[in-house]
Amino acid sequence: MGENLGVKLMHLSSQKRLWELDSLRGVAILMMVLYHLLFDLSSLGGYRIEVLSGFWLYFARTTATLFILLMGISLTISYAKAQESRNPGAAILSKYLKRGGEILAWGVVITFVTYFFTRDSVIVFGILHFMGLATMLAYPFLKLRTWNLVLGFNFIALGFYLNNLRFDIPWLVWLGLRPEHFHTLDYFPLFPWFGVVLIGVFLGNTFYPYGARKLALPDLSHLPLPQLLSSLGRHSLFIYLIHQPILIGILSLLGIVNLSLLN
């Protein structure tokens, strides 16, 4: 009976996307755009908005946490679908290495762009760098359940501990070992953020076994708001890459920001 249920769930998983995950990703996209709009107004427009402390800092961290949790959940779903297709383990691993490498490459592009336009605040290991590397590293953890919860919280605890220390090893900043006077616009080291991925994997394996929703949830995918949010969520990487140039361009045309402040 259990085996038959698994087959049914796997069949369901291949029929349609999970609208609630796309919608939550869409919410995270809107939160990200709002935060970056306020950041641009603060850094380029001279508006007194405390985006690097207080409420807006926690808002930004909540946005990133939501993105990364959803990433962990999505990895378990794609892993289940790959198993359903009877792909060998090597092929599944190759898929994650390729996808992670693509995301990491976009992170490197952003590093070069910020080097030329904002040299004082180059993005060294931002969220795209992290997500690319985390996608490649997550494969051995995708079958685990409770252990991911335990490991996740340990990664986070170690990350908070390392945050208070400084190390003279610049090439290990991706781990969370920061040198003195280290500064970057966007920083998501493996410790603690890989812990959030592992918690997402735990949630995915708990609530989406075999890649299908375990809990009963009303289908709201036909309503206008979920449709809009889901559309945004399905194109999150593309929106991430283009939203800042568009925001800065619009604010510049309106005379709200001064582009000379980029350098």
15 pLDDT exceeds 80?
no
How far apart, in Å, are the Cα atoms of 210 and each of 6, 88, 157? 7, 16, 30
pLDDT of residue 14: 39
HSE-CB for 87 with a 13 A CA cutoff? 15
Backbone φ and ψ of 19, nearest 5°: -60, -30
Q: What is the pLDDT of residues 87-119, one digit of tens each?
A: 777 888 999 999 999 999 999 999 999 888 776
Domain ranges in the chain? Answer: 87-214
- Taking each continuous run of H as one helix and of E as one strand, the counts in the chain are 9, 0
Backbone φ and ψ of 46, nearest 5°: 80, 10
Rounded average pLDDT over 132-140: 96
pLDDT of residue 201: 98
- Structure-token match 């490459």, residue found: 105
pTM assigned to the model: 0.89
Q: What is the pLDDT of residues 145-158, one digit of tens each?
A: 899 999 999 999 99
pLDDT of residue 263: 63
**Six token digits for residue 207:** 């609530």
- Residue 174: helix, strand or coil by DSSP? helix
Q: What is the pLDDT of residues 189-209, one digit of tens each?
A: 999 999 999 999 999 999 999
